[in-house]
Chain A
Amino acid sequence: MSAPSGGRIVFTAFVALVLTVLPLPPWLDVLRPVFLVLAVLYWSVNAPRTGDIALGFFAGFALDVFQGPVLGQHALALSLVTYIAVREHQRIRSKPAFQQALIVFAALAVYEFVLFAIDGWSGHPVISALRWVHTVTGALLWPPVAAILAYGSRGHA
């Protein structure tokens, strides 16, 4: 598969960011996966050259601007997740969708754990089980999200 252009990646990341910060009613807000993390994960697995750790960092920074209590929190978490995904991209890419979803669940859990830890260290502890809900919905939504992102990137096949 040919590497998608940087423009496409930035565009999808932007759309994902909009979806992530879109105002929703509270109950739906808890369920909403962090679409931006899903998009970044997709690109780090499928286009590790273009979508790099830099993508993770800046996407995380954008999230910080919109919803971070501490600037740099999401950036760190998303850099870490991106790093893992880029490192293991070949293994992840070859898995079937179901197993990919499990891996994504693990990645989202890592992501949320980093946020959780930083929240605690920085004095904004949010001890609520609800904050972990999106890892599950994110994993469940991974197959469709990946399919949508794949649809544009390879016109053939």
Chain B
Amino acid sequence: MAAFGTPAGRPWQGRGGSAGFRFTLYAAVAVVVMYLDQRQHYLEQLRYLLQAAAYPIQLAVNSPPAAWRWIGQSFESRERLQAENARLRAAQRDLELRSMRYEALARENGELRGLRAALPPVADRWLAAEIVSIQLSSLRQRLLIDRGAVNGVFKAQAVLDDRGLIGQTTHVGPWSAEVILITDPEHAVPVRIERTGLRTIAVGAGDATSLALPYLPANADIKSGDLLVTSGLGGVFPEGYPVARVTAVHRDAVQPLAQVRAEPLAHVDTDSEVMLVWFRADRPMAPTPAGKSLVELKSGIPSLQPQAVLPRPQPTAPGPPAATPQPARARPPAAVPRRQPAESQATEPQATEPAAAPKAAAPKAATPQPAPATPEPATPQPGTPEPSKQQPPTPQPDASQAKEQP
């Protein structure tokens, strides 16, 4: 047995220097790559390609569970499906009734505040995405979803489910995107306590089921059961969406800060679909509407079609500032900047969707807004976007943020 590891003339002498030399080389490459990646945008292109290359493997790796789920679904009994159908119908009717009311309230609220043209941007388009894989360890909580740049997904886009906020996209490939969950220890989301309006930041606590609110003073008005909603600061998340419910408030006499835990409302572990949200004026639409609608036609599920959730008037309208926003309920999402009263009565999004799809590119052309530097994901930047109600045509991502609070 050779007592010394590397006698001269051993095989690794043959290829480009000694092992130590090659190691140094590779280590240097790795360090350079890390440096460039840490400075974000340098490697965006490479990341994009790698994400595309990795997607087939991720799909394949996830195929056994997906196949199992598919088999389970296809053998569901007729009665169960009918029962579910009836339940969903009832739920939909309730929601529609509620949203009728909501629309009126939103308009009235806007008029009362005299802010008709500068209402806060709330989501104006959703797109459902299927979860390809979930990583829910305590170190890293990520999702992979099956929508990417082809569908108009962009970096730092908000992701919700039907109960609350899930997270935001971190890496976007052409057909897939990685979502960091709000419970990831690296993630922080600017929130507002709904009861009091107090704003703070909720960070992932490191286990998959809770958030921590580490920046609240011990005398802050917060108690168990309070609802946390997104504050909209930072511009990543739309304002006013439920995030979590406070589960524990611990005040220690010697600690200047209260220790607050909250439980996220979204149930990532049971979801199979999440919702991507477009609400920022600088990110209006999918860049390739044709490809988008094709994907959705192929999947054929109505819920996969982007739906107009927001009957609120959008400040993006290039019309006169004083124009009264029309209550275009269930307006096709593609037609945000254009008022289309003819379609405003249609209640089935899927009926109007094909007609609206070709127009999807319009808003992009109509508002060639140079994107104001996208805010750091999850970093609250209180001072960035100032409300400018004098310029209604200019889409302001966070307009009227400051006016939320009385």
Contacts and interface: CB of A to CB of B under 8 A. Distances in A.
Q: Are A and B subunits of one complex?
A: yes
Interface of A: 17-18, 21-23, 26, 29-30, 48-49, 52-54, 56-57, 60, 65-67, 69-73, 75-76, 79-80, 82-83, 86-91, 94, 118, 122, 124, 126, 128, 130-131
B53 A23 contact: no
**What is the interface of chain B mostly: helix, strand, loop, or mixed?**
helix
Given A65-B54, A90-B5, 20 more contacts: A23-B62, A23-B133, A48-B12, A53-B19, A57-B29, A66-B58, A70-B37, A71-B34, A72-B30, A72-B32, A73-B34, A75-B30, A76-B27, A79-B26, A87-B5, A87-B19, A87-B20, A90-B1, A126-B139, A130-B139
A29 B53 CA distance: 24
Contacts of B289: none
B118 interface: no
A72 B186 contact: no
A131 to B, nearest CB: 6
B26 A53 contact: yes
A124 B43 CA distance: 18
Contacts of A90: 1-2, 5
B267 to A, nearest CB: 15
Contacts, number: 121
A34 B288 CA distance: 39
Interface in B133-189: 133-140, 185-186
B2 A126 contact: no
Interface string B35-66: 01110000100110011011001101110010
Contacts of A53: 19, 22-23, 26
Interface of B: 1-2, 5-6, 11-12, 15, 19-20, 22-23, 26-27, 29-34, 36-38, 43, 46-47, 50-51, 53-54, 57-58, 60-62, 65, 133-140, 185-186, 206, 208
Chief secondary structure at chain A's binding surface: helix
A6 to B, nearest CB: 13
Nearest to B53: A65
B105 to A, nearest CB: 41
Given A49-B11, A90-B2, A91-B1, A75 B19 contact: no
Contacts of B20: 83, 87
Nearest to B269: A26
A80 B27 contact: yes
A82 B19 CA distance: 10
B208 to A, nearest CB: 6
A30 B208 CA distance: 13
A105 B51 CA distance: 31
Given A23-B135, A29-B137, A57 B58 contact: no
Contacts of B11: 48-49
A71 B137 contact: no
B135 A67 contact: yes
A51 to B, nearest CB: 11
Contact of B34 (A86, A88, A122, A131): A122
B26 A72 contact: no
Contacts of B1: 90-91, 94
A22 B138 contact: no
Given A30-B138, A86-B19, A128 B57 contact: no
Contacts of A76: 26-27, 30-31, 34
A30 to B, nearest CB: 6
A122 B35 CA distance: 9
A49 B12 contact: yes
Contacts of B137: 26, 29-30, 130
Contacts of A118: 34
B177 to A, nearest CB: 14
B33 A75 contact: yes
A61 B364 CA distance: 37
A89 B4 CA distance: 10
